[in-house]
Structure 1
Amino acid sequence: MSDTKFHNIAQIIEQRIEQGIYALNTKLPTHRALSEELNTTPATVAKAYKLLADKGRLESFVGRGTYVSRQSELNQVIQAPDDEHEYNFSILQPCLYKNVQPLQHAYQHAAAQLTADLIGYTEHSGHAAHRQAGVEWARHYGLEGGHQENTVLTNGAQHALFLLINTLTKPGDTIAVEELTYPGIMTAANLSGRHVVSLPMDHEGVIPQQLDRIIAEHKVSLAIVVPSHQNPTGVTMPEQRRREIARVIEQRNIWLVEDDIYAFLNPHPIPAISNFIPERAVHISSLSKAISPAMRCGFIKAPASLIHTLNAHIRTYTWLSSPINYVAAAHLINHGEAFRLAEQQRDTALERQAMLRDIFPQVGERFNGYHVWLPLPAHWRADRLVMAAKDRQVIVSSGSYFDVSGDDSSHIRLSLMSVSREDKLQEGLLILKQLIDSDVSSLFPF
């Protein structure tokens, strides 16, 4: 038997993961069981499992077995554009071509403003003027109580999530997240050694009574919610639901992380949940979705009791976020350009949602943000559709990537903003529509 046979076994396992035969977060067959199925030896299967574990596709636990890793999901969900001929509906970002010129001007201004102070180290996660810019950004979209002393700068919202998980909880603690959630939250929790439980949702977001029950049953230390244009469902919590969530958090005396990076998409500001429980909630905002993910400008508003610890963690992990980026960001915010760009992106999203409804009328009016949580007809499973779409150079994200249980195979998430031109967006949507309406058995006759 060739010593390279385990590479072939590993390839078979990866194909089964991609096809959904081995679902995310589920246990794989034992070495002996799979070796008998594939007519090889347990030792060869063990080598294949080891190879895939090194790649991050599998996780092995002593006494429990080997599982399909959820840590690889972020790479599956967010596939950066690398082919101009692809229709990439997988990544949530602004229509970047509209922001290039304003960003050029902002960075030209930043270059002209550089001083020795701005290119050296600084305390408190960043300069006071840059923290104040973050205060103004978040205030504009519904956050109250922010000021320079309770605002922390981060390298974007993902850094903020990882930082807060590691600051507010310890390994082995339980974190509650929305039952359909952004995989970056799951990745941060898993890498930090935290347990995760899911929070049931309805058409207004997390259900307060279920949040209360889950906290009590699982001894939850921290809950994470996305209150505006939730990823992936698109749900925005109304003010009353936010008040009800705040009441449960306060009564149960746990921490809340409010990931509010899509607040700028609301047609009118909605009060942040953090406004109602300022001593139990930490609020995240960012410029990534409205201006540019490359700026890496994120803002945390936290209770005063946490600021020293957050700054200590930031110094340990990254020391500080780049002041050069924040000079440009502060210029855009202080001159009102950031808010104009955000409004332009919101208008673009509304136009593209209307285009989508012309092609997929079943979507209705409930979506008005960057993405759509698209239900599939009964004859399609999401993972198979993702594969078939990719063959047509259409990149979409399977619903199973967002499901805490890994089970949702009846939806895909479509970003409407990452395809730059409207004519190309329409072409890609029409290709996808034709595929969804087709007979799956003719594409997968097995």
Structure 2
Amino acid sequence: MTNWLPDIGTGDGPIYVRLADRIEQDISAGLLAAGARLPPQRDLAYDLGVTVGTVGRAYALMRERGLLSGEVGRGTYVRGRSVEGGRASTPASDESPLTDGTRLYDAPAEKLRFDSTAAPDVGQSDEIRALLGAIEREHPAELASYTRRFPQTWSAAGVSWLARNGFRPSPECIVPTLGVHAGVMAAISAATAPGDGIAFEHVTYSQLARGTRLIGRRTMLVASDEEGVIPEDFERLCAQRHPKMAFLMPTAQNPTLSIMPEARRRQIAAIAARHNVLLVEDDLYGALTDDPTPLLTTFAPDRTFLVGGLSKSVAAGVRGGWVLCPPHFTDRVRIAHKMTTGGMPFMLAELGARLVLSGAAAAIRKRTIGEINARLALAREALDGFDVVARPNIPFLWLALPEPWLSGTFKNAAFEQGVLIDDEDEFKAGRTEQVFHRARLGISAPRRREEVARGLAVIRDLLDGGRAGYDSFG
């Protein structure tokens, strides 16, 4: 396909959504026939004046809609439509990968997964297996039915896990959740209404921003620096655009690893109070750190939802999480969580509570931290001489890319060499002109340190070779 150029000047939503919608319209209009090959991402990005990552996200979204097939290395093609209903056909032989944002759900067998920060395998399955057996023996009736009660132990576990740096939550304000993501979405659903604005940093855990838009809220961007959200820009945003809530990661922010100092946390809390803005403090990575800075919740307990969970410290598959709510929101968040997730499964809630209260979670977290730091030592050695932001105990790095690398192009090059990483577009909460020329490297997913070392060697070779050693895929 050489002469097709989509018009993205009109439409709703971010550029990548508008591009995806235009592709779908052109397929429906017959301008793109079944089997037609779309332009390479780098070429279309150049023609449209957007980033390669933006085109990649549009193509990924179209694969989710079932209208495109292909993957990095072999091109992207328009799929055929079945006669019935006009839907895209799905041949049994089609191997087009499923995606989540710009990530693949399942990495090809030969690829190393550096795009995840879930807790590494440190043998936690032994503790989990023993606790699951005990739950099965002791609570057969609860396992056979829906969860209709919330034992006090579930809240006690949340108190223990969320307590940090002298702050201890009130158990009556704790809501057990299916992980941090579900907890944040429940807080947003309970405390805001469709049309309300939610503030996010330019780069952050962007799946929450996507979820926010999905339920009818508006995303607003606030500037940040190496110390987190900039108070002056937060004040400006609050005064001019009146967000209802702000999502923040004050400790070990994802992906920048910034830690907001105490003075700035006090400023943010004061600004939120002046403008009646609710706050969400995501402390998921904070639970791994030794950082002594008081939690943001300490300075604004009446307007802050503190969320934490087990996915980065213990085991992502457990889906254990808790929200500490301002007192008048607790029941609303519990109901919102049930409405948005279908309810808290007894097995997972009980397992999360027992992991924490038995001390197993703390023991696993200690082993997890040891393994992460061993892998960080490999990363420091492999990437010596390059600009890399890293922190002890945290399972990812924020790598600055030397000229002339672009983030999306570097991601594609790493993929071709067998390593999946995240470019900066994966973390952008909305349309932004801010460019970082960085990539995030997660080092916890590979099973063995030898695999981590091998992936880091690939990254190092790409950095040393530069664009001259990379022939972009077509």
When residues 364 and 6 of structure 1 are mapped into structure 2, their CA distance, relative to the original with a 3 A threshold, is closer
8 Å Cα contact 1:90-1:396 kept in structure 2: yes
Instruction: Name the residue aligned to 1:217.
Output: 240
* Structure 1 segment 66-215 matched on structure 2, within 5 A: 75-117=100-142, 119-123=144-148, 126-140=150-164, 143-147=167-171, 149-215=172-238
Q: Which whole-Å CA distance do the structure 1 matches of 2:52 and 2:98 have between them? A: 9
Instruction: Name the residue aligned to 1:395.
Output: 420
Following superposition, the deviation at residue 238 of structure 1 comes to 2.8
What letter corresponds to residue 424 of structure 2 in structure 1? G
Summarize deviations over 1:170-213 as a string: whole Å, max 9, x none: 22221111121112122112212222121211221111222111
Q: Which whole-Å CA distance do the structure 2 matches of 1:275 and 1:241 have between them? A: 13
Q: Which whole-Å CA distance do the structure 1 matches of 2:145 and 2:270 have between them? A: 43
Q: Which whole-Å CA distance do the structure 1 matches of 2:170 and 2:52 have between them? A: 39
Following superposition, the deviation at residue 87 of structure 1 comes to 1.5
Residue number among 256, 271, 274 corresponding to 2:297 in the alignment: 274
Greater mean alpha carbon deviation, residues 381-390 or residues 111-120: 111-120
Q: Which whole-Å CA distance do the structure 1 matches of 2:242 and 2:285 have between them? A: 29
Residue number among 417, 425, 433 corresponding to 2:444 in the alignment: 417
Q: Which whole-Å CA distance do the structure 2 matches of 1:422 and 1:355 have between them? A: 8
When residues 91 and 364 of structure 1 are mapped into structure 2, their CA distance, relative to the original with a 3 A threshold, is closer
Q: Which whole-Å CA distance do the structure 1 matches of 2:251 and 2:115 have between them? A: 19
Instruction: Name the residue aligned to 2:431.
Output: 405
When residues 443 and 14 of structure 1 are mapped into structure 2, their CA distance, relative to the original with a 3 A threshold, is closer
What letter corresponds to residue 114 of structure 2 in structure 1? F
When residues 385 and 21 of structure 1 are mapped into structure 2, their CA distance, relative to the original with a 3 A threshold, is farther
Instruction: Name the residue aligned to 1:38.
Output: none
What letter corresponds to residue 308 of structure 2 in structure 1? S
SS of the equivalent of 1:153 reads strand
- 1:347 and 2:385 aligned: no
Summarize deviations over 1:96-148 as a string: whole Å, max 9, x none: 24322222222222222214245433446x3321121111111156643331x
Q: Using the aligned pairs only, state the percent identity.
A: 23
Summarize deviations over 1:236-272 as a string: whole Å, max 9, x none: 2233322222122122211001111112211155422
Summarize deviations over 1:322-375 as a string: whole Å, max 9, x none: 111222222221121111211221222222222111111234675221111100
Q: Which whole-Å CA distance do the structure 1 matches of 2:35 and 2:62 have between them? A: 11
Greater mean alpha carbon deviation, residues 3-12 or residues 290-299: 3-12
Following superposition, the deviation at residue 222 of structure 1 comes to 0.7
SS of the equivalent of 1:426 reads helix
8 Å Cα contact 2:162-2:169 kept in structure 1: no
* Structure 1 segment 260-339 matched on structure 2, within 5 A: 260-339=283-362
Q: Which whole-Å CA distance do the structure 1 matches of 2:271 and 2:159 have between them? A: 26
SS of the equivalent of 2:269 reads helix
Instruction: Name the residue aligned to 2:458.
Output: 431
Following superposition, the deviation at residue 439 of structure 1 comes to 3.5
Instruction: Name the residue aligned to 2:411.
Output: 386
TM-score relative to the length of structure 1: 0.83
RMSD: 3.3
Instruction: Name the residue aligned to 1:374.
Output: 399
SS of the equivalent of 1:433 reads helix
Following superposition, the deviation at residue 221 of structure 1 comes to 0.9
When residues 365 and 175 of structure 1 are mapped into structure 2, their CA distance, relative to the original with a 3 A threshold, is closer
Following superposition, the deviation at residue 393 of structure 1 comes to 1.0
8 Å Cα contact 2:52-2:409 kept in structure 1: no
Q: Which whole-Å CA distance do the structure 1 matches of 2:229 and 2:258 have between them? A: 10
SS of the equivalent of 1:414 reads strand
Following superposition, the deviation at residue 310 of structure 1 comes to 1.7
What letter corresponds to residue 423 of structure 1 in structure 2? E
SS of the equivalent of 1:377 reads coil
SS of the equivalent of 2:270 reads helix
Q: Which whole-Å CA distance do the structure 1 matches of 2:113 and 2:345 have between them? A: 30
What letter corresponds to residue 397 of structure 2 in structure 1? V
Instruction: Name the residue aligned to 2:12.
Output: none
Greater mean alpha carbon deviation, residues 1-10 or residues 174-183: 1-10
Following superposition, the deviation at residue 22 of structure 1 comes to 4.6
When residues 99 and 117 of structure 1 are mapped into structure 2, their CA distance, relative to the original with a 3 A threshold, is closer
What letter corresponds to residue 154 of structure 1 in structure 2? T
SS of the equivalent of 2:141 reads coil
When residues 366 and 88 of structure 1 are mapped into structure 2, their CA distance, relative to the original with a 3 A threshold, is closer
When residues 319 and 366 of structure 1 are mapped into structure 2, their CA distance, relative to the original with a 3 A threshold, is closer
Q: Which whole-Å CA distance do the structure 2 matches of 1:55 and 1:165 have between them? A: 30
Instruction: Name the residue aligned to 1:6.
Output: 33
Following superposition, the deviation at residue 435 of structure 1 comes to 1.1
Choose between structure 1 and 2: higher helix proportion: 1
Q: Which whole-Å CA distance do the structure 2 matches of 1:21 and 1:285 have between them? A: 39
Summarize deviations over 1:356-404 as a string: whole Å, max 9, x none: 1111123467522111110000111111111111111110111122133
Instruction: Name the residue aligned to 1:37.
Output: none
SS of the equivalent of 2:244 reads strand
SS of the equivalent of 2:126 reads helix
SS of the equivalent of 1:96 reads coil
Summarize deviations over 1:203-234 as a string: whole Å, max 9, x none: 21111222111111111111000122111101
When residues 185 and 141 of structure 1 are mapped into structure 2, their CA distance, relative to the original with a 3 A threshold, is farther
Number of aligned residue pairs: 411
Greater mean alpha carbon deviation, residues 101-110 or residues 357-366: 357-366
Unaligned runs of 5+ in 2: 1-26, 69-96
Q: Which whole-Å CA distance do the structure 1 matches of 2:417 and 2:242 have between them? A: 46
Greater mean alpha carbon deviation, residues 307-316 or residues 376-385: 307-316
